[in-house]
Amino acid sequence: MSALLEVEQLSRRFGGLNALRNVTFSVKAGEIVGLIGPNGAGKTTCFNVVSGVLPPSDGSIRFKGRSIVGMKPSAVVAEGLVRTFQATTVFPAASVLENVMRGAFARTPVSLIGSVFNTRAARDVLAAARERCEGLLDRLALARFRDQPAGELPYGYQRRLGVAIALAAEPQLLMLDEPVAGLNPEESAEMGRLIETVHETENVTVLLVEHHMRLVMGICDRIVVLDHGEKIAEGLPAEIRADRKVIEAYLGTEDVT
Ligand SMILES: Nc1ncnc2c1ncn2[C@@H]1O[C@H](COP(=O)(O)OP(=O)(O)OP(=O)(O)O)[C@@H](O)[C@H]1O
């Protein structure tokens, strides 16, 4: 498997604080990789820097072999690297389908959509996107909510819709930021199954930040552990679970059964 994402010696400072310090890891095409660590370890900062929301202070980020440092978040999305956020980011008044359609056009400049909106070609593009989004809603068990305002969905389904919106942009790498935060145990287990399913059916590589250790240990091929902005371990779930440094910094405080 070749590396899809290569992060090398990545640092991000906020004033005197090293939120990330010389962090190096990679994600190979086809993997599910977990990024874990205690509160304040630098996981969200890592997501923000990799997705172009924040510039790094130092280091390199290559996606499909090309540097993406300095690219705007929209350009990073256009390259095929799409992230979700900890909080739900649905438009509450828009329907579930409209929300997913928004994701489908995340890789297309709005001005371009506008300029061709009434042409035959634009109608064909829209019809194709709609068909693709409806297929996605089917596969993510959201079809029955298709015409409902997204804000009326139960919270668990709003999180699921967040994943659908990200997938509509047809990412090669999907970065999920705490997808089960705020979900009950049953919803969390369902989300875990959903991630495994979309990893297969949508042919997407996954980088996952999550505190839910049972989920992380259950679905990840490999795990990278941060603490105080530094990588302290990397390995298979069984290796991470047994790693003394990881247990001391993090797992000792978490339920990993
Ligand atoms: N915009 C910012 N300005 C200043 N400090 C920041 C900023 N963003 C993050 N930090 C600090 O950087 C460190 C890493 O924070 P980050 O949110 O990346 O950790 P995290 O691992 O995602 O934590 P959590 O699990 O609680 O979400 C923390 O000390 C945090 O206070």
Q: Is 171 in the pocket of ligand 1 (CB under 6 A)?
A: no
Q: Residue 174 corresponds to which tokens in the numbers above?
A: 């999907």
* Averaged pLDDT score across all residues of the chain: 91
Q: How far apart are CA 168 and CA 155, in angstroms?
A: 20
Q: Which atom of ligand 1 is nearest to the CA of 178?
A: 27
Q: Is 99 in the pocket of ligand 1 (CB under 6 A)?
A: no
Q: Is the pLDDT of residue 237 over 70?
A: yes
Q: How far apart are CA 218 and CA 220, in angstroms?
A: 6
- Look at residue 88 in the predicted model and tell me its pLDDT: 66
User: pLDDT tens-digit profile of 131-186?
Assistant: 999 999 999 999 999 999 999 999 999 999 999 999 999 999 999 999 999 999 99
Ligand 1 center from residue 56 Cα (angstroms): 14
Ligand 1 center from residue 76 Cα (angstroms): 22
- Look at residue 108 in the predicted model and tell me its pLDDT: 65
Give the CB-side neighbour count of residue 141, counting CA atoms within 13 A: 11
- Look at residue 72 in the predicted model and tell me its pLDDT: 94
pLDDT band at 90 (very low <50, low <70, confident <90, very high): confident
Q: Which atom of ligand 1 is nearest to the CA of 20?
A: 14
- Look at residue 256 in the predicted model and tell me its pLDDT: 52
Q: What ranges make up the beta strands (E) of the chain?
A: 3-14, 17-28, 32-36, 58-63, 66-67, 81-83, 173-177, 205-209, 222-227, 230-235
User: pLDDT tens-digit profile of 2-29?
Assistant: 799 999 999 999 999 999 999 999 999 9
Which residue from 43, 50, 51, 208 has its CB within 8 A of the most atoms of ligand 1, so it is best to mutate?
Answer: 43
Q: How far apart are CA 101 and CA 185, in angstroms?
A: 30
Determine contact, residues 153/140, Cβ cutoff 8 Å: no
203-217 mean pLDDT: 95
Q: Which atom of ligand 1 is nearest to the CA of 211?
A: 25
- Lowest mean pLDDT: which of 104-108, 203-207, 221-225? 104-108
User: pLDDT tens-digit profile of 103-134?
Assistant: 888 776 555 555 556 677 777 778 888 999 99
Q: Is 188 in the pocket of ligand 1 (CB under 6 A)?
A: no
ipTM of the complex: 0.96
- Look at residue 1 in the predicted model and tell me its pLDDT: 54
Q: How far apart are CA 230 and CA 52, in angstroms?
A: 20
Ligand 1 center from residue 47 Cα (angstroms): 11
- Which residue, by CA, sits nearest to atom 4 of ligand 1? 14
227-255 mean pLDDT: 89
Ligand 1 center from residue 206 Cα (angstroms): 22
Tell the CATH topology of 3-93+170-253. Rossmann fold (3.40.50)
Q: Is 42 in the pocket of ligand 1 (CB under 6 A)?
A: yes
- DSSP notation for 94-125: SBHHHHHHHHHTTTS-HHHHHHTTTSHHHHHH
Ligand 1 center from residue 45 Cα (angstroms): 6
User: pLDDT tens-digit profile of 42-89?
Assistant: 999 999 999 999 999 999 999 999 999 999 999 999 999 999 877 667
Q: Is 19 in the pocket of ligand 1 (CB under 6 A)?
A: yes
Ligand 1 center from residue 14 Cα (angstroms): 9
Break the chain into its structural domains and give their ranges.
3-93+170-253
Q: Is 14 in the pocket of ligand 1 (CB under 6 A)?
A: yes
- Which residue, by CA, sits nearest to atom 17 of ligand 1? 44
